[in-house]
Structure 1
């Protein structure tokens, strides 16, 4: 499991009003995650699979940073607190489905539900995450809105979650099928990452768009901010996953920059990578010295996307979160060693 970045967000709140907002969102995050956990517990009852008891730090903003970003987006849009909690629980359902699918596709394991299944039964743990999260969507909609919204509309809202996720899923299916061509960097951004991650970061608004009457100018701006943050995260992911993506024949922005870039030496080194070397953990340490020009361009692209998205998402009084978000994501995705000292990233 990747270590959590050593950034405690509450320490960065500069005024009492900002701290109050932080505490409000932290409490709502905990309530939303608890709502999801309770739904999952009820769904698993009688299956012989049990959820482990949650600890206090299981609900921290640091551990659920993306969920907290989506919660903030509802806060900024003026959605009522009780609805924000429900939408947060629904987002955890989406997270369970997306993470479970990614685990299976990428042959890795990132935990959503902490069950008593054998720790190394990664595939079945992922399957349970997907199945439970899928069933929890309608359960949470029923419990959250059942008394005020017709069931037919709630069923339609549950369908909308699948429609929203499917856009990204179709792109993943193409990669799994081997539909890989060496696209230019611009095409990877506009044709692949746009669908794979940019649109995915708008999915948490699929249900609010149906249920809440939010001014479209406001919601569109917020979703555009989330989209850009998602795009930047995917570029950072590509920096972290260069060798893995090449091995698995997946689109990778950094690989494209190297291939189509101005450095014949970097292109040659990419072509000379052997299968054994790409499978070695030591390659990650060599990427920075082998591909400095492409890494610089990749970092500039990621930084620009995340900075633009965060500036759009955060209100002026919370603008201090822009740089913090960039630092947090760099640490979370695990590319600090690739960009230390580069423009916009002066951490040692």
Structure 2
């Protein structure tokens, strides 16, 4: 088999491994609140999230095109494929570390950091204007917007149901969480599976097997099915952190947090083609609804650990990817 073709096959396989880790790492994004409020049993929640991830992954390609052509332009041939492979391995390493620690970090930013690190190590063309507008700006704004919107929506919700009996109202919100969890899982598929699609196209272009940023159907299907399988495998360490350790949620707050985070994912994907972190969106939304009780209701120590992981994600995955590329470069043809 031709060396370039072999490298393309390896990179596509590793990209799907990343997609799988993305699924189980970020399963918490969609189902942690529903499981913690007992709106859904763990088994039903994971199956529902997996199915909606699959559907969401097939709904658009805007985010995939941003990742596939907007972050870096790698060299052609073996060197370019080495860049993409190192980027994926750096992202996978960070995903596994934060999963083990139970920290809901961003798989999206791990991948972007990996692409940046490997690209810089290879002296590839880096599209800083796109990174600033569609990565850095949303990375700062989406958690702030998520927190504020969730806080405001929760205050409005509490006012709307202020005269209704507590227990029957919470039961209705528990039922409504089936819809909000589905919407969140759909948004996760729409955002995160597309990132893997973009990386696979980046590898195909570097290998001379594809032109442009259009996503082939087989790439869409492979990424969609893989992230769904990863979601079905679950990510219980992170689910416990988001669902119980940041704040003790009730069904009303779970519903509002999921609805706000899902809305952010849809707007970013469809309106701006921006690869935002669904992890940042749901975590900040959970903090926002929790703060309506009182600020001390949020366990800010846990939130601080999460924030540290957010800050470190891009530089850490970039450093790992750059190191891997530099180690492997002498071995490339």
Q: TM-score of the superposition, structure 2-length normalised?
A: 0.32
Q: Which has the higher helix share?
A: 2
Q: Larger radius of gyration, structure 1 or 2? A: 1
